[in-house]
Structure 1
């Protein structure tokens, strides 16, 4: 079975409440519908659209001295202690966001910590660092106080932020669609002139940067330069909907790219593959965090849903889903037994 089939099945198994269709002997096509977002999975209901979610895979959610060889969030009770960051906004008819705040969801309680926060980022490492992009620069999370504190001297209006693994480098996307490399604890800023009019940025686990601009076509930026991603639909228009998504932690040199409702994996070397699943238009999330693989978060209709694959395997689920997940049990167990930090240290 190809890795993409495994990613598609495991990463979104919690959403599938009907038997998959077989496109061929190797691939399974998953169709995500709105009825799969069940009310018992809701973790938060907001007053505005949820446009960004971050589930940090670092010391914020996992103690550094945890000796367990399994994912500490692989059971239902542990997930109640997960810390999430999310952004609410109103979306105008022109598609532009009106800030409604950046929140932290901790032990079931949501707290607004930045009125004009637009995005959040964290490296998958042993630190407890979480960074926020806001209308007036970069902030960092104080876990003890549950607050946001100004970081460095940057005062740009930021709409996107990502954090490198293994260094203090942060990349920011400003409101005028320029990308900067920020270093030296937030005091140095270097414009990336080879990225023009970026609309969104995402990093993979190998610190390759991905972006797209007006033509909706994605590119990767590596130490070899910029590469256009091949193998994607060519008939995109200015009205087409595309989104870059931070990848599951089991994927090293690629990220997720959603074209309309179809999901692809795009790679740093310029190639791409279909991920094997798609969303119905009414089930297309406004934001998601799939980094944790076995526990993932999706926003739909101003609500955040948690999908815990392991809990579903051992809990009360419909027969079709039980059979489907049992077929994938070897892959699921393999991932759940990976120590997140030992995996990080390989990067």
Structure 2
């Protein structure tokens, strides 16, 4: 399933971009403290191949839709500047107040989190529709692998499981003060809580993942690459880890082929990054 290899590359590129390839910052208001672009890359074509496109130029497959979330921080609060879709070299804004894109879309439907609930974007027809009847302001959204159930993280840092085609939500009480959420391929739910520490939601409550740096300055979490069958992907201090349902962890070391794929994705994503910047700043 090509989606996760591409999504992984997007995650790493975002981290590297923030450190060493930052675009010029623009002051939108006097209380604007940060401006960034996050690029989760999804292959929503329904292609279940585990291979990565072999493109020596570093370009992504033209059939892949790339979703770009633009935002600024104002008074320590993330505010949306819109979600954009990039496909076949073209970029268009698809949602005005969105902050979240689901990381797993085996079909052509990708779920988006907005300030007034959930939307679904069809990458084949390029049409956007409201999904369900929820009105929560959503900052993170993930989809289960085997069902159409979703998990959302709201602006007030509450996690819900969303079922029945977006019409019912159940609070996940174990996830306290969540900042980010992720699922693994076995549908285990993880979240990042206080001090950038990850937790696994187990049958007897939330458990802190052991074996990680005590106080990382930044952290991210996502579904792992398809080559990793169990656990979630955790990145902190530029070091990737695999975190497991038994609350353990281990560092992940890229092999030579993965490094090559990453460099190719890096070039392609940076080109999209600059295209979005130039188009939206005109």
> Shorter chain as normaliser: what TM range?
0.7 to 0.9
Would you say the 8 A contact 1:139–1:148 is kept in 2?
A: yes
Describe the shift of the 1:80–1:164 C-alpha distance in structure 2 as closer, same or farther (beyond 3 A).
Answer: same
User: What SS does the aligned partner of 1:244 have?
Assistant: strand
Q: CA deviation at 1:262?
A: 2.7
State the match for 2:101 in structure 1. Answer: 120
Would you say the 8 A contact 2:188–2:201 is kept in 1?
A: yes
State the match for 2:243 in structure 1. Answer: 266
How many residues were matched structurally? 246
* Structure 1 unaligned residues grouped into runs of 5+: 1-10, 16-31, 38-44, 278-289, 306-347
Structure (1 or 2) with the larger CA radius of gyration:
1
| Structure 2 counterpart of 1:158, from 119, 134, 138 | 138
| Structure 2 counterpart of 1:303, from 258, 273, 281 | 273
Q: Superposition pairs for residues 84-233 of structure 1, below 5 Å?
A: 84-92=66-74, 94-123=75-104, 125=106, 127-223=107-203, 225-233=205-213
Q: Which has the higher contact order (CA 8 A, sep 6+)?
A: 1
Would you say the 8 A contact 1:249–1:293 is kept in 2?
A: no
The superposition leaves residues 61-110 of structure 1 with CA deviations (integer Å, 9 ceiling, x where unpaired) of: x3x7xxxx773733357723321112011234x54322110011010111
* Structure 2 unaligned residues grouped into runs of 5+: 1-7, 27-34, 276-282
Would you say the 8 A contact 1:50–1:302 is kept in 2?
A: no
Matched, 1:50 2:37: yes
Aligned equivalents of 2:170 and 2:223: distance in 1? 23
User: What SS does the aligned partner of 1:215 have?
Assistant: helix
Q: CA RMSD in A?
A: 3.6
Q: CA deviation at 1:58?
A: 4.0
State the match for 1:253 in structure 2. Answer: 230
User: What SS does the aligned partner of 1:269 have?
Assistant: coil
What TM-score do the two structures reach when normalised by structure 2?
0.74
State the match for 2:62 in structure 1. Answer: 80
